[in-house]
Structure 1
Amino acid sequence: MLLELFSPSVQHALDIVGIFVFAISGALLAVRKNFDVFGIAVLAEVTALGGGLFRDLVIGAVPPAAFTDLGYFLTPLLAALLVFFLHPQVERTQFAVNVFDAAGLGLFCVTGTTKAYDHGLGLTASATLGLATAVGGGVLRDIIANEVPSLVRWDRDLYAVPAVVGAAIVALSIRFEVLNGITTALAVVTAFVLRLLALHYHWRAPRAWNRRSSAEEPAEEKATA
């Protein structure tokens, strides 16, 4: 089992780091959307804990860690407090949101996969739940912020694919019994870098072949058609 490689303290530390960076991304988005202090705290909590909460409910780890570990609850509040007082000018926060979100994506796809496997799921199911852990909080964040989640928008840069790659690296490392600190870091960094590259080069998933849709194209796409 993975607990032989990752002690509870290490797993907990990875979770806390992931929670913090995801909470930062949620709080920064709240600032950009002009939310008040309560809204900043709520968006930080939801972004940080949403994916992990879903994972714990699926694997039967109840009550979920978000409700039994005070550190899980207080970490997003600390992130929200830091953002409330130290955030850059609102119009300049999008880059920071993207960086912190990519970092959380990389960390959570790894910790979600390992925890699911520790609770008896197979490799494919564990990787799938790792993906859900990584993107779940971001989906809830976007919904609360009144935005269509990036996960399902064809006109947004790749979001789930980097998490899939990171989770797959973990699953393959488990399969070939090479999961250790180096391969874990490789999975996190790969997902993180892929997400940032997708944002920089605007990599997007293809839509249906020869599609016919009545949905309106964005103004910039019409202009270049």
Structure 2
Amino acid sequence: METKFILYFFDLLGGAVFAISGALMAGRKQMDLFGVLVLAGVTAMGGGTVRDLLLDKDVFWLHDINYIIVILVSALGTVLLKRFFEITNKVLLIADAFGLAFFSVLGTAKALSFDFSPLIAIIMGVVTGVVGGAIRDILCGEVPLILRKDIYATAAVLGGSIYSIFIFINVSPNVSLIVALLSAAALRLAAIKWNLGLPVFNLITNNEADKKLK
């Protein structure tokens, strides 16, 4: 199977998963249907849009209506499924984890395809993976996951790094893609399951914390 088709398939799949996470967040905030579609759209397209603008390339969804269709179907399907199934916050986090994995690796792959350096490609992968979710969280009045102590952007860096290294040492692009996707998703899912996080930079002393409590 051609690598180009596989990348395109996973790009659409990543958009669907991120659209679902956006729709679920809208449900948590009790938004109307328009709000659901807005959150699904910004979550699925926000990161890739910023990436393409930074790379000075055509914005991907302006030239391919399939992305819009996938987002609409995913968002509306989520609304319908909610009528029949109980959807917990953990489902939202899992959907977001897979969206992060797909987009961080695919964003890296796209930057490499335009002959950017591996470091820039990894950064573009992180942008692709985290910006849409960050916009979603900000619109909902939440602290973005990327700014919390959770292992989040680290998973995006891992996926992009593995893909870049494998391509550099001439591993098959398809194998590189699958290994990188699974690695990024596994790290993020492990962080969710076992509540793993990075060390926190804390300037508040114990005395200051006590004063706040009083």
TM-score, length basis structure 1: 0.86
Give the alignment partner of residue 182 of structure 1, picking from 163, 175, 185: 175
- Output aligned runs, 1:1-225, within 5 Å: 6-7=3-4, 9-62=5-58, 64-87=59-82, 92-154=87-149, 157-208=150-201, 211-213=202-204
Q: CA deviation at 1:106?
A: 0.8
Considering only aligned residues, what root-mean-square deviation do their CA atoms show, in Å?
A: 2.1
Q: CA deviation at 1:10?
A: 2.7
Q: CA deviation at 1:130?
A: 0.5
CA contact (8 A) 1:66 1:73 kept: yes
Separation in 1 of the partners of 2:72 and 2:131? 19
Separation in 2 of the partners of 1:199 and 1:129? 24
- The residue type equivalent to 1:50 in the other structure is G
Moved over 3 A (4+): 88-92, 214-217
1:127-153 per-residue CA deviation (whole Å, 9 max, x = no partner) reads 111111011111011011111101112
TM-score, length basis structure 2: 0.90
Separation in 1 of the partners of 2:85 and 2:42? 21
Gaps of 5+ in 2: none
Alignment size in residue pairs? 208
Identity over aligned pairs, percent: 36
1:23-72 per-residue CA deviation (whole Å, 9 max, x = no partner) reads 0111011111111111000000000000110111111212x112111011
Separation in 1 of the partners of 2:116 and 2:177? 19
Separation in 2 of the partners of 1:88 and 1:162? 32
Q: CA deviation at 1:93?
A: 2.4
Q: Secondary structure at the match of 1:147?
A: coil
